């Protein structure tokens, strides 16, 4: 039996939660678990899709044959782990899975969107977490992504705009000029190569780190991320048969960190993974 505590803030469908906690679990396998009576929520057997509430415990019986979770690490020391989050998993749930796999509590220092894969920094203690957050605040950590964009960016360079989050709708709005409630965003875009006449592979660097910044900013510029179902070009997604969001966090680079800092081992280092598209 495997037990999973839902730590989210909102209700979520049982199938979505289990697909995150059991990577590789297909929809048909999930339906079979339900029909066989092998899923319980708060000790009550469920045989159909339901919503899971914050604090609920989900138990899955006889799932030993389901694909097991194996994390991929890029770097690890006594204080932090840089691991590759698969797309389709919320960052906080990814941290839970890594914690269960390794028998050590990990705290996510920053987050990636659910459908964005790539390098995530996880702290092994509250002290390491606070030190890592401070590095991000002091702009001592650079984050770079690779993305397939719809169309060709006008030029290589840093683009500036303003962003406002709508927490109720789960979306953000981008504007060209400063408005009440909007915060400045800066996004660097560099063309790497054209994949075809309408799809461009680009390296993207975040100079600010706001919710959905890359996806919303590139869409505002007229070149959304291929496969993005929230801000994207839905017609081009359909024509390209894009089944996922083509955005991956490929690189974390650290600036000069003082020797007395708990994370000084990261000073001046860069960690990069290959783009998977």
Nearest CA-CA partner of 207 in 254, 159, 250:
159
Catalytic residue among 77, 113, 142, 196: 113
Pairing of strands 2-5, 199-206: unpaired
Q: At 230, give phi and psi (nearest 5°).
A: -105, -45
Cβ atoms within 10 Å of 243's Cβ, excluding its own: 8
Non-local (6+) Cβ contacts of 168 within 8 A are: none
Give the closest residue to 90 by CA, choosing from 119, 113, 58: 113
Q: What backbone phi and psi angles, to 5 degrees, belong to 107? A: -115, 125
CA–CA separation, 176 vs 89, rounded Å? Answer: 32
Counting Cα atoms < 13 Å in the Cβ hemisphere of 38 gives: 17
First to last CA, the chain: 36
CA distance 24 to 97: 13
Catalytic site includes residue 113: yes
User: DSSP class of residue 28?
Assistant: H
DSSP secondary structure code for residue 68 in this structure: P
Distance CA 87, CA 59 (A): 24
- The catalytic residue positions are 113
């Amino acid at each position: 039996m495997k037990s999973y505590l839902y730590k989210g803030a909102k209700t979520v469908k049982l199938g979505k939660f289990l697909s995150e906690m059991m990577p590789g679990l297909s929809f048909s396998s999930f339906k079979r678990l339900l029909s066989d009576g092998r899923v319980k929520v708060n000790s009550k057997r469920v045989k159909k899709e339901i919503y899971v509430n914050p604090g609920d415990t989900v138990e899955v019986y006889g799932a030993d044959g389901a694909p097991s979770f194996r994390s991929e690490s890029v770097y690890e020391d006594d204080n932090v782990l840089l691991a590759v989050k698969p797309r389709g998993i919320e960052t906080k749930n990814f941290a839970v899975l890594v914690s269960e796999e390794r028998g050590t509590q990990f705290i996510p220092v920053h987050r990636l969107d659910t459908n964005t894969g790539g390098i995530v920094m996880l702290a092994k203690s509250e002290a390491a977490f606070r030190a890592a957050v401070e590095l991000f605040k002091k702009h001592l950590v650079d984050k770079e992504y690779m993305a397939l964009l719809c169309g060709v960016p006008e030029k290589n360079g840093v683009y500036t705009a303003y962003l406002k989050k709508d927490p109720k709708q789960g979306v953000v709005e981008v504007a060209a000029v400063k408005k009440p409630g909007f915060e400045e965003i800066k996004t660097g875009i560099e063309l790497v190569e054209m994949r075809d006449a309408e799809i461009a592979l680009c390296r993207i660097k975040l100079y600010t780190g706001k919710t959905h910044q890359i996806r919303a900013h590139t869409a505002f510029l007229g070149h959304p991320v291929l496969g993005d179902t929230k801000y994207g070009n839905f017609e081009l997604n359909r024509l390209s048969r894009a089944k996922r969001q083509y955005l991956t966090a490929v690189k974390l680079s650290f600036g000069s960190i003082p020797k007395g800092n708990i994370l000084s081992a990261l000073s001046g280092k860069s960690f990069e993974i290959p783009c998977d598209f």
